[in-house]
């Protein structure tokens, strides 16, 4: 991200509470996906500007809303009869099955400097707030394609703090230890929490791990270690039935949920191949979001079951040139 883009993001969220450093790291990536539809600008993922269902993130979304072409999806999860969609086992058993399955797959080729990481995904974000007087139909999310340099010198050697190139992230993943507790310790150091952060250790762990799941092409051994580390996060749970992701695919939902938490952050996993499918934020407790400094903006109500943010990874790969597809 260049200086002008950083300035734009800061101006977008003027008046919002300053987010803690260790909030959800891909908050800026979510704004990127939405803003890209209306602004044609690519904003990179940034640990420092993200928020887990907090006023900071939603204020940024609200300010950007006039440029968004995609809306959020809310309401209880649609399911077919539970008897045919039950997820057996505890969260540790489910994630151990996932880890032992993926670590037996063949590793992808290692990218090299000069190549690009291609990604195609669906994203949905909260719609315009406050809503316009004339009700508008909710637009259907359209697939988005993105290309990012595998080795981008602008995002290496600490030039953008925690906003690292894919090459640096994959090198970090290659060096992860086998012990899940040791993995969590390294991840916390890689994406540290800010002083006075209100989030719990489990919330912080889930946010940091969620960023690493987006690394591409992730080696099978590293993915297995991440799954086992997720199982060791305090407050981690697996939904007892399959859910549908934004693309309509069956998915295992693994999320962090602790007492007093308003928003549950979930990663979504293919129930057959155990590959990473995407993520979502789902409201678990009724509450109202306020917008300090914006006196003309009413509080935004959220109901348990509302889906805030959703991402569905459709395709990814390594290509030689920006614009190429695998």
pLDDT tens sequence across 16-48: 344 443 343 344 444 333 333 333 333 233 343
The secondary element (H helix, E strand) that includes residue 318 is strand 307-319
Given a cut of 60, is residue 62 above it in pLDDT? Answer: no
Mean pLDDT of 109-132: 92
* CB burial readout 55-94, b (16+ within 10 A) else e: bbbbbbbbbbbebbebbbbbeeeeeeeeeebebeeebeeb
Cα 140-143-147 angle, rounded to 5 deg: 150
Which pLDDT belongs to residue 230?
98
pLDDT: which is higher, 43 or 314: 314
Which pLDDT belongs to residue 153?
92
List, in order, residues 6 or more apart from 131 with CB less than 8 Å away: none
pLDDT tens sequence across 220-233: 999 999 999 999 99
- Phi first, then psi: what are they for 205, rounded to 5°? -60, -45
List, in order, residues 6 or more apart from 135 with CB less than 8 Å away: none
Predicted TM-score (pTM) of the model is 0.75
Measured between alpha carbons, how far is 284 from 305 in angstroms, rounded to an integer?
Answer: 6
pLDDT tens sequence across 99-113: 999 999 999 999 999
Given a cut of 80, is residue 137 above it in pLDDT? Answer: no
Which pLDDT belongs to residue 84?
63
Q: Give the confidence band of 15 by pLDDT, cuts at 50, 70, 90.
A: very low
Mean pLDDT of 85-106: 96
User: Helices in the chain by DSSP H: which ranges?
Assistant: 3-12, 27-39, 55-64, 91-102, 166-174, 180-190, 201-213, 220-231
Measured between alpha carbons, how far is 201 from 234 in angstroms, rounded to an integer?
Answer: 7
| Residues paired with residue 282 on neighbouring β-strands, in sequence order | 264, 307
């Amino acid at each position: 991200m260049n200086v002008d883009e950083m300035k734009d993001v800061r101006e977008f969220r003027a008046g919002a509470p300053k987010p803690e450093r260790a909030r959800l790291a891909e908050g800026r990536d979510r704004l990127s996906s939405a803003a890209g539809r209306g602004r044609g600008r690519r904003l990179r993922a940034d640990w420092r500007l993200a928020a887990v269902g907090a006023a900071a993130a939603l204020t940024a979304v609200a300010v950007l809303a006039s440029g968004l072409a995609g809306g959020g999806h809310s309401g209880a999860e649609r399911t077919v009869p539970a008897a045919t969609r039950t997820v057996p086992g505890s969260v540790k058993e489910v994630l151990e099955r996932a880890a032992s399955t993926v670590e037996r797959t063949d590793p992808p080729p290692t990218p090299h400097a000069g190549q690009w990481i291609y990604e195609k995904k669906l994203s949905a974000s909260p719609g315009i707030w406050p809503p316009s007087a004339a009700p508008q139909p909710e637009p259907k999310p359209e697939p988005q394609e993105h290309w990012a340099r595998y080795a981008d010198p602008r995002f290496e050697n600490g030039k953008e703090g925690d906003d690292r190139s894919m090459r640096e992230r994959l090198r970090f993943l290659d060096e992860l230890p086998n012990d899940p507790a040791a993995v969590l310790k390294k991840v916390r150091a890689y994406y540290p929490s800010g002083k006075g952060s209100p989030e719990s250790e489990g919330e912080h762990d889930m946010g940091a791990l969620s960023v690493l799941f987006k690394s591409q092409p992730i080696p099978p051994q590293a993915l297995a270690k991440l799954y086992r580390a997720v199982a060791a996060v305090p407050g981690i749970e697996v939904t007892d039935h399959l859910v549908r992701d934004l693309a309509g695919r069956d998915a295992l939902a693994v999320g962090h949920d602790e007492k007093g938490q308003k928003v549950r952050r979930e990663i979504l996993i293919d129930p057959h191949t155990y590959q990473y499918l995407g993520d979502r934020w789902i409201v678990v407790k009724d509450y109202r979001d306020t917008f300090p400094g914006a006196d003309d903006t009413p509080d935004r109500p959220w109901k348990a079951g509302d889906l805030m943010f959703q991402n569905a990874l459709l395709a990814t790969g390594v290509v030689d040139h920006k614009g190429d597809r695998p």
